[in-house]
Structure 1
Amino acid sequence: MRKIRYKKGRKVQPFHLEYTGLHKSHESEMQLFVYNDSDLTEYHKIKVADFDKSIVVGKTNWLNVHGLNDLELVKAVGDYFTIDNFMLADILNTTKRTKLEEQQEVLFFNIKSLLPTEHSDNIQVEQISFLIKDGVLLSFQEKRSDFFIHIRERIRTHSGIVRSKKADYLMYILLDAVMENFYITLEHEEDKVEELINLSKKSDDPIILEKIEKHRDNFNFLKRSIIPLRDSLYDIKSIKDDNVFNVIETENFSFFARLHQKSLELLEQIDADMGALESASNFFFSFQTHKMNEIMKTLTIVSAIFIPLTFIVGVYGMNFENMPELHYSYGYYTVIGIMVLIGITMLFYFKKRRWF
């Protein structure tokens, strides 16, 4: 799990842009969609110098930036759209929590996208930021990914109402796509928890406890990622001031309310899964305790059987001369028979009392 490093975050000053993420080897490039209900134009690997002739006022413009390691490109985009350096710093500083902010007719929203890592218990983290200004939606991704492929296809094929809506609705469906990754991650974690519960009932291998703690950390990380998202979506859902979030059309506030509801469902499910994980931990310790009790019970029974036998051996181990049984020709076999009989009788008694 990636932790927030406070000292590193402090170094990022408003006028000193620094990308703090992990994906520094990915090439930065931009893609632009310009569309309305009747027309679509798509640009690949577009340059900032081409914005003037490509971005069309009155249409929905979606500029997607892949890769944030090219600081000059990010700064050029920010200068073109007159985006405050504070917002650019928040885009590049991936240690920041989810944030919603409106400033100078710019709506800024960043979110953590989480996905499970293949063949590992770790979670992949990528920060995605959105800005809406003057009918243009800008999205910034740390690396090229397939989160929005289906949305691009919906735009290309004129599927649904996306082409008839503006940038605020587009941001809604992009956020919805990112939130789907939470469900994928949560489902993956739930499968792992189910495996751990089954293992905890059968094995006392200490590695099980390590895995339980690892997935508990994952659930806590999921929760910490969703809670600020829930709060931001609640701000949009519950706003009643006409001077706030002007870039979102009134009829589209209900869509963000749906996202808020999804965040609540995710948090409730995480709480339930953490309870299941706690059950796995309890099963593990219960299994260990039960196994230890079984061992102690077996040892106690063996000890109880051998106590009278040890007494008999102790008696005949004393160095007295006048012990009549010592001179009896069948004395040895008689004592051994009595000892065997005592052992069998005690075993039968313990079995009848269901002590084992």
Structure 2
Amino acid sequence: MRKIRYKKGKKVAPSLLEYTGIHKDVPTQMQLFVYDADELTECSDGSFDQLEHAVNLSKTNWLNIHGLNNTRIIKQVGDFLHADNFMLGDILNTTKRTKLEEYHDILFFNIKSLLPIENSDNINAEQISFLLKNGILTSFQEKKSDFFSHIRERIRTHSGIVREKKADYLLYLLLDAVMENFYITIETEEDKVEELINLTKTSTKLILLEQIEKHRDNFNFLKRSIIPLRDSLYSIKSMKDDNVFNAIEQDNYSFFERLHQKSLELLEQIEYDLTSLEGASNYFFSAQSHKMNEVMKTLTVVSVFFMPLTFIVGVYGMNFDNMPELHWQYGYFIILAIMFFLFIGMVYYFKWKKWY
């Protein structure tokens, strides 16, 4: 049973909002979409007070925030939505695991977005959080990225049904876009693992084992990120059964059930990939053992070839006077001939037995 160790981290008081991520040089920027089936208003690069006045509760409102360094703005958003400080603290604390929380009329959802780092075996992780309340969806990103660019374009061009739907459907689209990053990451890892497995069949270099363990850690990291997401998406199904939380329409629960199925597919794929890595690791050790056995077999065969020759040399190396062969004129050449034909005979015998 694995021993659980306490991981010491930075303590942040619930009442003190502080961003704990690594993107501390990213300025806080905001973008607001207010839309329905007929109209669209897009606001950006303004103060929160200006954006607040642009909010129209009779329409769907999407406030997207890049950069979490300006905690004053985060606090303003929380006060506007009447969000608890604990929720705001979870938005700013990037060490928190993926979770879903329902507090009064606010749905809080945070998720880890994972993408492979180019020319590296490492994975980049970014926390994205959502607050859903009364037709207002607020998303918080640590830095500016293009995760949601296609969704913005669909809103602008009135493509699909996004303009007919409410903020809960928009939340589904954003979560689906983040989950697509899991597929990209897993596919990239699988390509590297496939190449690694092919290398283990032709080489027994120790660095291959190090790479296998690195990718095993990456898949386990993906697994630890997806499991709480799966549990959170399953919790949304229980909200449907309770029929208490009204921020998600009954017809839209099926979309979140699709995301839950996707999370199960991702976990199944990761389990398969971990099994493949386990097979590659076992093959590597088997190849190492086989190579060692071949070396030992060669050394043993060579030793056996010279054992009778060493015995003969040892016998005629004794200093006894009564050894008639020592006085034969051709004794030396006769013994060499016997040793030569004995060696050749043993070589053919071993080859006939297929011992080498």
Give the TM bin, normalised by the shorter chain. Answer: over 0.9
Counting only pairs closer than 5 Å after superposition, residues 57-96 of structure 1 correspond to structure 2 as 57-96=57-96
How well do the aligned residues superpose, as a CA RMSD in angstroms? 1.5
Describe the shift of the 1:31–1:234 C-alpha distance in structure 2 as closer, same or farther (beyond 3 A): same
**Displacement, 1:5?**
8.1
- TM-score using structure 1 length: 0.95
Contact 1:109 1:131 in 2 (8 A): yes
Q: Which residue of 2 aligns with 1:20?
A: 20
**Matched position secondary structure for 2:128:** strand
Q: Identify the range of structure 1 (61-70 vs 208-217) with the bigger mean alpha-carbon deviation.
A: 208-217
1:29-64 CA-partner distances (Å, limit 9, x unpaired) = 011111111111111223111024311121111110
**Matched position secondary structure for 1:279:** helix
**Displacement, 1:265?**
0.4
Point out where structure 2 has 5 or more consecutive residues left out of the alignment. none
Q: Distance in 1 between matches of 2:81 and 2:236?
A: 24
Q: Distance in 1 between matches of 2:73 and 2:327?
A: 108
AA matched with 1:213: E
1:108-132 CA-partner distances (Å, limit 9, x unpaired) = 1000001111111111000000011
Contact 2:32 2:51 in 1 (8 A): no
2:35 equivalent to 1:35: yes
Contact 1:5 1:95 in 2 (8 A): no
Q: Distance in 1 between matches of 2:284 and 2:297?
A: 20
- TM-score using structure 2 length: 0.95
Q: Which residue of 1 aligns with 2:280?
A: 280
AA matched with 1:136: I
Q: Which residue of 2 aligns with 1:240?
A: 241
1:180-199 CA-partner distances (Å, limit 9, x unpaired) = 01111111111122122122
**Matched position secondary structure for 1:119:** coil
Counting only pairs closer than 5 Å after superposition, residues 176-325 of structure 1 correspond to structure 2 as 176-238=176-238, 239-243=240-244, 245-325=245-325
Q: Distance in 1 between matches of 2:69 and 2:305?
A: 75
1:179-234 CA-partner distances (Å, limit 9, x unpaired) = 00111111111112212212222222111111111111111111111111001111
2:138 equivalent to 1:147: no
Q: Distance in 1 between matches of 2:6 and 2:134?
A: 35
AA matched with 1:101: E
Q: Distance in 2 between matches of 1:26 and 1:51?
A: 20
Point out where structure 1 has 5 or more consecutive residues left out of the alignment. none
1:311-330 CA-partner distances (Å, limit 9, x unpaired) = 01111211223433333333
